[in-house]
Amino acid sequence: MQLQDDYLAAYRSLKLTRDADGVLVVEFHSNGGPFTFTAQDHTELVDAFYRIGQDRANKIVILTGAGGEFIPEIEFSSFGNVADPGVWSQVHDEGVQLLENIANIRVPVIAAIEGRAHVHSEYALLANVIVASEGATFHDAPHFAGGIVPGDGIFTTWSYRAGAGRAEAFLLNPQPLTAQTAHEWGVIAEVVPNGKALPRARELAKLYLKAPEVTRRNTRVHFIQPLKERIVREVGYGLSLEGASAADLVKSMGAQNEPMAQKGRVA
């Protein structure tokens, strides 16, 4: 049975386009330009990637971003009071489901990275192959530098792709990592001229389409399984640790913002 493809236009920050060969391009964007990640997107992407993985009309999936960027920014305020257990419970559950749903896409996945992959670069690292432009950079802007644990899967994916030592150093002292360095670490398959990541990803998709469909699907399933097992084991726990650190950060910021007059009040 062929499922309906009405989901292709259902998401605010995803432009989903599928060609006649079944190559689905998933483009992150905000109003057609570079993507600023929000809480609404966190919710919608869970459903989006579930539907993408469920739809057998998708033969290859390409992840990319609009405006010469992958995911450059995040709007922290949109998540509300992350010290509230109810708020974090939703963040936790969606974070686990989102990564599991990307990992459950059962066709080859290619990431085409231009510009900044500075937020949720783990989405790209769940691809089988990453093609990045010369000017692309990878970063972890939201976590340790901002005062919270990198527990949402970014350590799991980077340590799987680059090795634990490199991942720990990268995440404890987050600085933009060049495409060339990521290539040397084995994270990126190819570095291409600026503006050529998506065209190269399309070339690879055509190459992969030459294989029989069951072969393509089962190869993705086989290749992603070890990483999927780590996601299931680690990300729920990691997000619990991240939530505790986020609550502590909110508490400490509240204490710092308490009026000095109130702190120094004498009875």
**Active-site annotation holder among 122, 134, 184, 234:** 122
Phi, psi of 39 (to 5 degrees): -65, -35
CA 190 distance to own-chain centroid: 19
Distances 262 to 41, 141, 254 between C-alpha atoms, Å: 39, 34, 13
Total Cβ atoms within 10 A of residue 15: 16
Which of 126, 154, 130 is CA-nearest to residue 49? 126
CA separation for the pair 207, 201 (Å, rounded): 10
Tokens of 185: 């670490």
CA atoms within a 13 Å half-sphere pointing along the CA-CB vector of 21: 16
Tokens of 116: 């900044």
Strand 36-37 versus strand 14-18 pairing type: unpaired
CA separation for the pair 80, 88 (Å, rounded): 9
CA separation for the pair 237, 239 (Å, rounded): 5
Query: Active-site residue 122, yes or no?
Result: yes
Q: Which amino acid is at 126?
A: L
Give the residue numbers marked as catalytic: 122
